[in-house]
Amino acid sequence: MLEKFFLKPETVDGIRGSWLGEPIERYVEWLDQNGYAARNMYRRVPVLRQFGEFARSKGAKNWDELPDFIDVFINKRVYRFGSNTRKSSRRLADEIRTPINHFLRFTLPDFKGRGRYSKLKTPFLEQAPAFLDYLREEKGLRGNTINLYEHNLRRLEKYLKKIRLHRFSDITPAILSGFMISSAQELCKTSMKALCSNIRCFLQYLEREGKVKPNLSKAIESPRTYRLSEIPRSITWENVKIMLEGVDRRTALGKRDYAILLLLVTYGLRSSEVAILKLNHIEWERKRILIPERKAGHRTAYPLSSVVGEAIIDYLKKGRPQTKDRHVFFRDKAPRTPISYSIVSNRARYYLRKAGVQVRKPGSHTLRYTCVQRLVDAEFSFKAIGDYVGHSSPSTTKNYSKIDVERLREISLGQEEDLL
């Protein structure tokens, strides 16, 4: 594999003869299999060789000891090659740390690393280590919801550290009130409602475990919101056409994104439902597409639209990477792994902005709203629409219905006085 990227025999011999020669060669093979460009090998391998020789010269005897020498190696390199400006030195340190961290994660299964690519620490891991298991096993919550809990608990953890409070037993309603007031300055009403719900659940768990005062969770009051108080984020069908026309379908990325956008606006799918779609979910002979594991706990079968089917086939033939993985959609850059729900939403946001469509909070849910609104305009019942887009209750579907803003504007200008 090394010969594919390094032409000189002495270079290949030098890599294989180094202390880290074996894992470096396996790492290069993995990078190539996952679609990384050749320039990654040219940039990373020299750094890894130098890091290996440095760690060896400092007394490292086993690969497990390599993480102990990362910071010393980086500091030495920055001191030697960095400029006098703090910003450029920091950038150089990141450029050195990134390939080392990536290589060690591949070589050492237990290595976590730190820096801009390290994972966030689980909040309150020492004080409440079983809380996430409680959410997953007892409450039956899914990954995305648990991620939101973690995000909001980190906010609470940061606040408690700021006021130097280290014991759950010292938490009082006044402290919780201060936390909510502080958070309300940064979050919208919807985010505050989610924050209150998550913190209240966390406190109820701590009450059950006897770690906080009884009934402390009752001190958390969610902001009052009103059903249908905001206009949903749907767009007109003309804007949908403009958005789709802005996709460059000559490229692999454009073929993928075009198919994704059609799935979102045709079936009103959630971004997570598009991300987990697999080849076996598309039944070509029966001309239908299956959406499993929906938020309401069921699965839905849709008739496969010819337009959607043709877009997916175009991507599968001319855009999707060659892989044994059964997911339909993949990243266009290395590593060639299945896309995440955030990528789906980000691409929808990108094309909405590219088309100049003005909408509040653009993203994949904008197209979901648009699908529902189109069905509402066609006078389908809320129950039928809810079943189509995967709602557990017709009342949820009502949140997606939209008033005719332009008609109200005409009335407000006095052009429809006969209606009053």
pLDDT of residue 90: 78
pLDDT of residue 385: 76
Residues in contact with 318: Cβ distance below 8 Å, sequence separation at least 6, in sequence order: 252, 255
pLDDT of residue 404: 47
pLDDT of residue 387: 73
Would you state the structure tokens that stand for residue 311, as one six-digit string?
């877009």
User: Max Cα separation, the chain?
Assistant: 90
List, in sequence order, every beta strand (DSSP E) within 275-332: 282-283, 288-291, 300-303
Would you name the residues annotated as active-site residues?
270, 295, 365, 368, 391, 400
For the structural domain made of 131-219, what CATH number should be given? 1.10.150.130
Q: Is the pTM of this model over 0.95?
A: no
Alpha-carbon Rg for the chain in angstroms = 27
pLDDT of residue 82: 63
Neighbours of 286 (CB within 10 A): 11
Residue position matching structure tokens 């060690």: 104
For the structural domain made of 237-407, what CATH number should be given? 1.10.443.10
Q: pLDDT for 147-187, tens place per residue?
A: 899 999 999 999 999 999 989 999 999 999 999 999 988 88
Q: Three-state DSSP class for 211?
A: coil
Q: Nearest to residue 147, comparing CAs of 219, 198, 200?
A: 198
pLDDT of residue 86: 55
pLDDT of residue 414: 52
State how far the Cα of 327 lies from the Cα of 282, in Å rounded to an integer.
11
Q: Where are the domains of the chain?
A: 2-107, 131-219, 237-407
How does DSSP classify residue 404?
-
State how far the Cα of 220 lies from the Cα of 161, in Å rounded to an integer.
20
Q: pLDDT for 370-412, tens place per residue?
A: 988 888 888 777 777 777 777 766 666 666 555 444 444 454 4
pLDDT of residue 117: 40
The list of the chain residues with pLDDT below 70 reads: 82-87, 113-120, 225-232, 294-298, 392-420
